[in-house]
Amino acid sequence: MNNAAQELRERLNTITDMHIAIGLLHWDQQTYMPKGGIAMRAETIATLSNIAHRMSTDTDMLRMIDAVSDRFDTDTDDGALARLARRNFERATRLPAELVTDLARTTALAEPAWVEARSRGEWNTFAPHLFRIVELQKQVADSYGYTTHPYDALLDEYEPGATKAQLETMFDELKHAIVPLVRDITAKSDSATERARPLYNSFDEAKQEAFGRDVITRFGYDWNCGRQDLTVHPFCISFTSRDVRITTRFDKDFLQPALFSTMHEAGHAMYEQGINPTYARTPLGSGVSMGVHESQSRLWENLVGRSRAFWTYFYPRLQSVFPDAIGDVDFETFYRAVNTVAPSLIRVEADEVTYNLHTLLRFEIEVALLDGTLTIAELPEAWNAKMKEYLGVAPTSEADGALQDIHWSGGMFAYFPTYTIGNVLAVQLFDAAMTAHPTIMDEAARGEFTSLHSWLTSNIYQFGSKYEPQDLIERATGSRLNTAPYIRYLREKFGELYEL
């Protein structure tokens, strides 16, 4: 290996190792840490984050990056590493230290205020915090710099290369297809509550856990390089591709949450486990963007886990695990239950069809807040009006409306659209995999997923962050982000399910 490349790689190894340790401190806090440790853990995480940030902004880094960029094209591993390192360095150095501190302090106060506001449904308790956060987000956007709109600067953090204009096109296409589809389904449909009823019953948690393990083992999740624990909110965390952990939670009276969140998190995890192991402990060694990451979780959760083929194999097995609950529920009834469409108030409980209308609403509100065309005081009313317009429902309390998500309180602006990017990309990728291996669904009906897992490993997983997100998608599917396959998928699947 070239000396300059070696030097840069070692420096990045050190910084990445600090982030691995910070990740473990977080994982431990959410899984096993005794309660008494909370205050001290916050101090330790702050210390390590501070050290990692100082390392990342060391000007010596730039010399190393330049030395490698001069020698290697960005389509080599070393060149890609230098490109990523430069991007991270520039972003880290553009934020003034006072702004970082101010953001940390503001969000640290905003999160508990949000918890309280949501529990009481009181917008005014959270409003002044959100006002401050929006002001700071504008400063962040100004610090990063942008040509067209501050949203672009924030979005680039989660989805490198994406722009507000692209999202507007994407959401516009989706809105025109999905809003009428939801109306047709709602007009045609029997009661959604009735349709989903088989999922509500008594389901022993240990048996749910064993069934979920079997499913994701068959998908290709590698337990030798992973594990599953219990947390309040399910998540996936990767230290290196050799240690990628997932968490879940069980509801003994409702089958849906654990089962689908296990598949979802395993989707994220298999992506991380499949990354070229030589990328470990460098910025190349993790998924390339939030949107691409979400495409992997959604693909396994929805395109596989909510398909006829999947349940052809797994439904008889699930029935034998829970004979009392679903022994006499026929296949078609169960398949319809896991694909129930119902306009609802809460994003995280939304079905495949209505989900993107929740993210669209948030995208439009975030843009308007940054524009200054919407004030914090007007936000709840705007939220409710959009809910009514897109989904035909509106909350009676802000707890089920503008206060439902934790993201804004943590300063996560321009994050929500990546969920929809993931939905759209998932179908593009699945179609490409099916073209390469037309028997994927026949295999799924036998509980086999090797062709799909291999195709994703070869075309997505292995590359980690080597290519720009849309370049990676184009290499894998022949085109960049494109809503058409996703819209066709929704129309076909739910057209059949609802006999439209």
Pairwise CA distance, residues 398 & 98, whole Å = 33
Does 453 bind its own copies (CB under 8 A)? Our answer is: no
Minimum CB separation from its own copies for residue 281, in Å?
A: 6
Task: For the chain, state the CA radius of gyration.
Answer: 23
Annotated catalytic residue, options 43, 194, 205, 265: 265
Q: Select from 169-177, 242-250, 312-320, 338-346 the region that touches its own copies (CB under 8 A).
A: 242-250
Site track for its own copies across 288-307, x = CB under 8 A: --------------------
265 is a catalytic site residue: yes
Q: Which of 107, 125, 240, 354 binds its own copies (CB under 8 A)?
A: 240
Does 115 bind its own copies (CB under 8 A)? Our answer is: no
Minimum CB separation from its own copies for residue 47, in Å?
A: 4
CA dihedral sign of residues 399, 421, 296, 159: negative
Does 95 bind its own copies (CB under 8 A)? Our answer is: no
Does 225 bind its own copies (CB under 8 A)? Our answer is: yes
Q: Which of 162, 270, 280, 425 binds its own copies (CB under 8 A)?
A: 280
Does 364 bind its own copies (CB under 8 A)? Our answer is: no
Nearer to its own copies, 21 or 179 (CB): 21
Does 17 bind its own copies (CB under 8 A)? Our answer is: yes
Q: Select from 223-231, 298-306, 314-322, 427-435 the region that touches its own copies (CB under 8 A).
A: 223-231
Minimum CB separation from its own copies for residue 2, in Å?
A: 21
Nearer to its own copies, 37 or 392 (CB): 37
Minimum CB separation from its own copies for residue 13, in Å?
A: 7
Minimum CB separation from its own copies for residue 32, in Å?
A: 6
At 328 the three-state DSSP class reads: coil
Does 21 bind its own copies (CB under 8 A)? Our answer is: yes
Minimum CB separation from its own copies for residue 34, in Å?
A: 5
Q: Binders of its own copies among 27-56, rule CB under 8 A?
A: 28, 32-37, 39-41, 43-44, 47-48, 50-51
The pairing of strands 236-240 and 243-248 is: antiparallel
Q: Which of 172, 223, 233, 377 binds its own copies (CB under 8 A)?
A: 223
Minimum CB separation from its own copies for residue 50, in Å?
A: 8
Nearer to its own copies, 27 or 335 (CB): 27
Does 229 bind its own copies (CB under 8 A)? Our answer is: yes
Decide: 272 and 244 in contact? Cβ < 8 Å. Answer: yes
Minimum CB separation from its own copies for residue 35, in Å?
A: 5
Q: Which of 242, 306, 336, 437 binds its own copies (CB under 8 A)?
A: 242
Give the number of residues in contact with its own copies, rule: CB under 8 A.
39
Does 159 bind its own copies (CB under 8 A)? Our answer is: no
Using CB under 8 A as the criterion, which residues of the chain lie in contact with its own copies when the complex forms?
13-14, 17-18, 20-22, 24-25, 28, 32-37, 39-41, 43-44, 47-48, 50-51, 222-227, 229, 239-240, 242-243, 245, 280-281
What are the catalytic residues?
A: 265
